A and B are shown apart, each in its own frame.
Chain A
Amino acid sequence: MTTAGPHETSSVAAQRQTAPPTTSTTSAASTSGAVVELDHVTKRYGPPGTAPAVNELSLTIPAGEICVLVGPSGCGKTTTMKMINRLVEPTSGRLTIDGRDVLQLPPVDLRRGIGYVIQQVGLFPHMTVGANTAVVPRLLRWPEARIRERVDELLDLVGLDPAAYRDRYPAELSGGERQRVGVARALAADPPVMLMDEPFGAVDPIRRDRLQNEFLRLQARVRKTIVFVTHDVDEAIKMADRIAILQRGGVLAQYDTPDAILAHPANEFVERFVGADRGLKRLSLARVRDLELIEPVIVQAGADRTDASGDLRSSSVDFALLVDRGGRPLGWIRESDLDGQGLINPEQAMPGANLLEPETTLRDALSAMLASSVQLGVVVDERERVLGLVSVDQISEVLQSGLLPVRTDAPG
């Protein structure tokens, strides 16, 4: 083959893949993705002069990020995606993957180097799960032994037991299982770029949520550059590192991080498209660990009241947190209950401290706090030891400031 297509990167990345997988999302997982760049790309289905489906679109998608193309029907999001693997040929403009001009590559070679997942999955009904997964490696003429190994590795990766699933036919699978096989098939040759066209659109909402979470965990490990098409704003906010909002006629309305789009919609169209509850939506983007935790006043049963009372007066919170001997929270003590002399009586504590984990989203934290009488949340580690407090005021400050606390994994 004369073209130094994306396979070069693929084979290098494939070897890297055999290293033990990183489980944490925050650790520096190796990015096997490639930069995808669209430069003034236009697609016109009719003759010159007719309205274009995609109009002068320029986007740079950094390596290893999920870019979600979102917009109403007829906005050209699917057309845009399909120009990247040339299922649709652009009328004008330039597309590059890691600097390589997509239009200079033979389409078949290009496509073998790009993962592709579609809504109806499109598994080949006459092939077993194993054979479906092996499609691209076979097209690339990998040795059979390597293909077998790769198939099992991929089925494992998407959470399907290879021994149980390898020899089944698609007709024997549930919708969610088919979707996972579709993802495994797209990842088979370890392509740096994956295109996903409403990949979770055909499954029910509960399973969709699970598949989305699974996919995000998977992506944290494989770090592909993913172009993801959806019409669902909530899905876009959840999945995206960056969102490109397109409006009718294939015009880019805004391209930015989900947070920036929710905080500062570029125009009225974006504002309407993301919805009136965009403030609340933003809160799902940040997690409790991103806030600066408030130092709690911690008291134990039997401690001296005067000491606690003094601590509480000099603190910004109105309640002392009663903990057991192991440091696990039991409930709140009011300032008035600390008046006078004597020891702290655990029966005065108001039960029901809201326990939050560092991973809890601010949206969930807010609804938990609003539902209880003490509007504070206790952030605990996995052993329920107190890390600090968050308050409703902190979250409302976040809403008003228009800026989310810095996220470690936020791009830009």
Chain B
Amino acid sequence: MPPGEPLVRPDWIIQNLDIIGQRLAEHLGMTATAVSVGFLISFVLALVIRRRRTLTAAVIGTAGILYAIPSLALFAFLIPFTGISFLTAEIALVSYTLLILVRNILLGLDSVPGDVLEAANGMGYTSRQRLWRVELPIALPIIVAGLRIATVTTIGLVTVTSLIGQGGLGYLIVVVGINGFFPTATYVGALLSVALAVAADTLLLAIQRRLTPWSRARGATT
């Protein structure tokens, strides 16, 4: 840091609002892509596991290993195949969501009480109707809980992808801030990243509450 340079320069922030906004949007986009794709894959995996329970260990184990690989190592492994690209970044981000999402979708579906399933079968739901109209709605709070963790985690991880030329707010934190010896950009990027995580988490929770009014209905009246 050059001597005499102040820690935060508000004038820079004001002058560069467009760039900051652009990076914020990019961050949001990368997160949304990763969580959506991750959710779709996890959903399919969870449904497959429910048909064949013997696959549980294999799928959860693989997702666990993916989750445990350090992100930098994963980039290094992927670059020979997919280059320094958006795709490389997304593959890494998606693979980190799988463990949490598959587990929570399974947990959610398993939380449906046995008597509810039996009643649903007895009423004459087809297995597809039962899944969409009974099991998934009841599993929703646990599934959304998984989505919230995955989203918050991904928002943090997106910053790391700045190392392969992506990164959203990570670009501000690492490339402009750290590499450019300009702390203001680091602070702005970090702060916005945290704010984004909190906002996304709150929004998802609000959506879940909205969709599951029954989960707060408690207490017998007589």
Is the pairing of A and B real? yes
- State the A residues within 8 Å of B (CB): 85, 87, 108-114, 116, 118-128, 135-136, 139, 168-177, 185, 195
Contact of B122 among A116, A119, A120, A126 (CB under 8 A): A116
Q: Are A125 and B214 within 8 A (Cβ)?
A: yes
**Any chain A CB within 8 A of the CB of B220?**
yes
Q: Are A171 and B222 within 8 A (Cβ)?
A: no
Q: Are A112 and B123 within 8 A (Cβ)?
A: yes
Contact of A120 among B115, B129, B219, B221 (CB under 8 A): B115
Q: Are B214 and A169 within 8 A (Cβ)?
A: yes
Given A124-B119, A124-B134, A125-B116, A168-B217 contact (CB < 8 Å): yes
Q: Are A87 and B118 within 8 A (Cβ)?
A: yes
Given A168-B217, A171-B217, A172-B219, A139-B124 contact (CB < 8 Å): yes
A interface footprint on B200-222 (CB within 8 Å = 1, 0 otherwise): 00000000000011110111111
In this complex, the interface size class of chain B, counting residues with CB under 8 Å from chain A, is: 20 to 34
Q: Which residues of B contact A128 (CB under 8 A)?
A: 214
Given A125-B138, A125-B214, A116-B219 contact (CB < 8 Å): no
| Pair count A-B, CB < 8 A | 91
Contact of A111 among B123, B212, B221 (CB under 8 A): B123
- State the B residues within 8 Å of A (CB): 113, 115-126, 129, 134, 137-138, 140, 212-215, 217-222
Closest chain B residue to A195, Cβ basis: B122
Once the chains are docked, how many angstroms separate the CA of A29 from the CA of B15?
85
Contact of B118 among A113, A118, A175 (CB under 8 A): A118
Q: Which residues of B contact A114 (CB under 8 A)?
A: 122
* Cβ distance B222 to chain A, nearest Cβ, rounded Å: 4
Once the chains are docked, how many angstroms separate the CA of A121 from the CA of B116?
8
Q: Name the 3 nearest CB pairs between A and B, nearest first.
A: A122-B119, A116-B122, A112-B124
Closest chain B residue to A121, Cβ basis: B115
Extra inter-chain contacts (15) besides given A118-B115, A173-B220, CB under 8 Å: A87-B118, A111-B122, A113-B124, A116-B122, A118-B119, A120-B113, A122-B118, A124-B116, A125-B116, A125-B214, A126-B138, A139-B129, A168-B217, A172-B221, A177-B222
Q: Which residues of B contact A139 (CB under 8 A)?
A: 123-125, 129
Closest chain A residue to B222, Cβ basis: A174
Once the chains are docked, how many angstroms separate the CA of A387 from the CA of B126?
58
Once the chains are docked, how many angstroms separate the CA of A119 from the CA of B115?
9
Contact of B214 among A118, A171, A174 (CB under 8 A): A171
Closest chain A residue to B220, Cβ basis: A174
Q: Are B214 and A126 within 8 A (Cβ)?
A: yes
15 A–B contacts, CB within 8 A, in A order: A85-B122, A87-B118, A108-B125, A112-B123, A122-B115, A122-B118, A122-B119, A123-B119, A124-B116, A125-B113, A125-B138, A126-B215, A136-B123, A172-B219, A174-B222
Q: Are A172 and B218 within 8 A (Cβ)?
A: yes
Q: Which residues of B contact A120 (CB under 8 A)?
A: 113, 115
Q: Are A127 and B214 within 8 A (Cβ)?
A: yes
Of the listed residues B113, B119, B123, B126, the one surrounded by the most CB atoms of chain A closer than 10 A to its CB is B123
Once the chains are docked, how many angstroms separate the CA of A235 from the CA of B201?
53
Given A124-B116, A127-B214, A171-B214, A109-B220 contact (CB < 8 Å): no
